[in-house]
Every structure is written in C-alpha cells, then in structure tokens.
C-alpha cells in the first residue's frame, strides 16, 4: 500500500472527487483519499499510538490541513473538504478556520495558533506558553529553552521566507516527558525561496533545496539561514523524530533508536513548508 501511495499522482477535478492515478490507473473517491492521506501521514510519522478509529496525531492533522489547502489551491470549484468529525485535533484546526481565521485554541494538552504574517511579535506569547508547559511536563530549564528557541526559529521562517500573505500554523502537544510541535505555512517552499539567492540558483529540486537548507547559514538572504540548524541542534540529544517537508521532498531525522538515521522520501508536491518534531525524554518502549 505504501508503495502505491508513494507513486500516486493527484489531480483534483470536479467538486468533491479527486482523481488519483496510481500505477493501476484506478479511480478512487474522496473517502479513499481521506483514508489515503491519513495513512500517509500517520504511517510516515507515527507520532502517537493511533487511538481507535479516526484519531490523528498533531503532525498528521496539520499535514492533512495543508494537504487540504493544496487541494483547494488547485481545485477550481473550491468545494473540496476533508472531514474528520471524530478527531479532536482536526476539530481544533477547524475551529481556527485556518488559513482564513485567527487566534489560538487550547484543548487539554494541545495548543494551536494561527501565525498572521503581519505580526511576528504575537508568536512570542505562544512561545512563552510552550516554554512554561515544557517545564511542567518534565523538561529541564535548559531543554525547555532550547526547544522553545527551535520552535521560535521555525515560526520565524514563516514570517521571513514563506512570501505569502496566508498565515502559518503552529501547534504543540504535550504529554509527560514528550512534546510534539509543528509549524506549517502555505508559501513558496524551500526551493523557490533559496533560488532567489544567486548562490543557490543551481538547485533544481525540492529535495536538493531541503538538503542544502539544513546546513547553517543557507538562506535566500546573504545573512541568516539558521532556523533548521537550530532545530536540529536542539532536538539532537532527545529521542524522537524530526520531519521537514517542502515541495515533493521529505526529510526525516529519526532518533527513535540508538542509531540515528536521516531518511528522505518523496510525496505529492505541497505548498509551503511543513516541519514537525517529536521529542521524548525517554526511549520508546519496545513492543
């Protein structure tokens, strides 16, 4: 099933039907796409143990929300909607009405904030709250500061590099000794951004761009380009996974085992950049 998903090309047509063109050339309904996306998201980034049925992890939900925006962006009818009525995180995203709505919502251990392009300062409230919550969930003062800085850098990338008027989305979810945070935007993506700098005009694919952008000091500007470096440095000593997605490229830094792995894969192209990081203080329990 995974192989089929990886090879799928998506062509949205009509009001509520998406034509998928997998290797078998079969057509599938929107319901299948929902299931498809859910599987893609949760299988690629198993951030939480799936609860019965239709629960989505925070990263999966934000990924799906971005996917939906991508579909809306490419669908003339603008009638496409992905529904996940029983998923709490999905409902929270819906309640924000992102990317058209505004504000912050909080439910239990999940916080979601819209990041309006005109106000970088407003994100500092979300960061302060993240830092406080981290300390309350077993993270040391130093780690809380480090992860807050990392989240702040990725949020700042939305303001500095997405080059769209559409707001970004920031969310985090805390449980004991574990945090997941995600930042997504619907902007130009890493490839288009970096190619604005003559030094990186040679980059041809999102994968090349993403691989280049994780090095310190790589930016569309002559100065800067430390967001991804800060993120990767901050999470380096924690268990978990960090996932960067832009265009058709996905980079995953897997720290779930003693052996650190960096993996890359390809998915249907997306708008903007999506970053998710899951950080645990303890190693995952062996099944």
Partner 1 sequence: MLRRVNVRQLTGSDTLVGKTDGQRDAPKFVNLVFGDDREESLLWDWSGIEVATASYFATTIIPLMRMITSGELAKYFLFAGLNKNCLDEFALVLNAEGLVAMLVKLKNEKVASVDLVGKLDPVYANTFREVIRHGAISAAELFKHSQSRGKSQIGKTAWVNRLTGLNRLRLLRKEKVGREFVFRAPFMEV
Q: Which residues bind partner 1 (CB under 8 A)?
A: 120-121, 124, 127-128, 131, 142, 145-146, 148-150, 152-153, 155-157, 159-160, 216-217, 223-224, 226-227, 229-230, 233-234
Cβ-based nearer residue to partner 1, 146 or 211:
146
Q: What angle do CA 130, 153, 229 make, to 5 degrees?
A: 120
Least Cβ distance, residue 193 to partner 1 (angstroms): 13
Cβ-based nearer residue to partner 1, 70 or 228:
228
- Omega before residue 99 within 30° of 0, cis: yes
Least Cβ distance, residue 122 to partner 1 (angstroms): 11
Cβ-based nearer residue to partner 1, 121 or 202:
121
Q: Do 5 and 40 meet the contact criterion of CB atoms below 8 Å apart?
A: yes
Cβ-based nearer residue to partner 1, 129 or 265:
129
Least Cβ distance, residue 188 to partner 1 (angstroms): 17
Whole-angstrom distance, CA of residue 14 vs CA of residue 234: 44
Q: Do 28 and 76 meet the contact criterion of CB atoms below 8 Å apart?
A: no
Whole-angstrom distance, CA of residue 175 vs CA of residue 178: 5
Neighbours of 98 (CB within 10 A): 27
Cβ-based nearer residue to partner 1, 51 or 236:
236
Q: Where are the alpha helices (DSSP H) in the chain?
A: 2-7, 30-44, 58-74, 88-96, 123-136, 141-161, 189-194, 206-213, 227-235
Cβ-based nearer residue to partner 1, 120 or 138:
120
Cβ-based nearer residue to partner 1, 204 or 236:
236
Least Cβ distance, residue 224 to partner 1 (angstroms): 5
Whole-angstrom distance, CA of residue 268 vs CA of residue 98: 22
DSSP 8-state code for residue 175: E
Distances (CA, A) of 26 to 4, 18, 21, 231: 11, 12, 6, 41
Q: Measuring CA to CA, which residue among 219, 216, 217 is closest to residue 203?
A: 219
Least Cβ distance, residue 207 to partner 1 (angstroms): 22
Least Cβ distance, residue 159 to partner 1 (angstroms): 5
Least Cβ distance, residue 230 to partner 1 (angstroms): 5
Q: Measuring CA to CA, which residue among 219, 228, 225 is closest to residue 194?
A: 219
Least Cβ distance, residue 23 to partner 1 (angstroms): 43
Cβ-based nearer residue to partner 1, 227 or 247:
227
Phi, psi of 283 (to 5 degrees): -65, 150
């Amino acid at each position: 099933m995974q192989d089929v998903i990886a090879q799928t090309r998506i062509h949205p047509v009509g009001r509520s039907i998406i034509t998928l063109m997998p290797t078998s050339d079969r057509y599938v309904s929107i319901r299948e796409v929902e299931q498809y996306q859910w599987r893609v998201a949760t299988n690629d980034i198993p951030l939480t143990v799936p609860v019965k049925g239709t629960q989505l992890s925070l990263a999966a939900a934000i990924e799906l929300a971005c996917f939906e925006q991508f579909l809306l962006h490419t669908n003339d009818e603008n009638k496409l909607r992905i529904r996940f009525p029983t998923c709490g995180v999905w409902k929270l995203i819906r309640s924000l009405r992102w990317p058209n709505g505004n504000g912050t919502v909080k439910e239990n251990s999940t916080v979601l904030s819209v990041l309006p392009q005109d106000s970088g300062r407003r994100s500092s409230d979300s960061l302060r709250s993240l830092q406080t919550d981290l300390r309350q969930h077993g993270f040391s003062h130093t780690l809380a500061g480090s992860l807050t800085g990392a989240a702040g850098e990725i949020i700042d990338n939305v303001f500095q590099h997405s080059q769209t008027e559409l707001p970004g989305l920031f969310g985090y979810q805390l449980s004991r000794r574990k945090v997941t945070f995600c930042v997504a935007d619907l902007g130009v993506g890493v490839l288009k951004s970096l190619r604005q700098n003559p030094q990186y005009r040679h980059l041809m694919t999102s994968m090349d761009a993403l691989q280049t952008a994780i090095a310190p000091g790589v930016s569309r500007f002559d100065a800067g380009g430390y967001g991804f470096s800060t993120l990767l440095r901050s999470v380096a000593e924690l268990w978990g996974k960090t996932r960067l997605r832009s265009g058709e490229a996905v980079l995953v830094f897997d720290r779930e085992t003693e052996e650190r792995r960096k993996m890359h894969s390809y998915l249907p192209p997306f708008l903007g950049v999506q970053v998710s990081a899951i950080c645990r203080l303890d190693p995952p329990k062996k099944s």
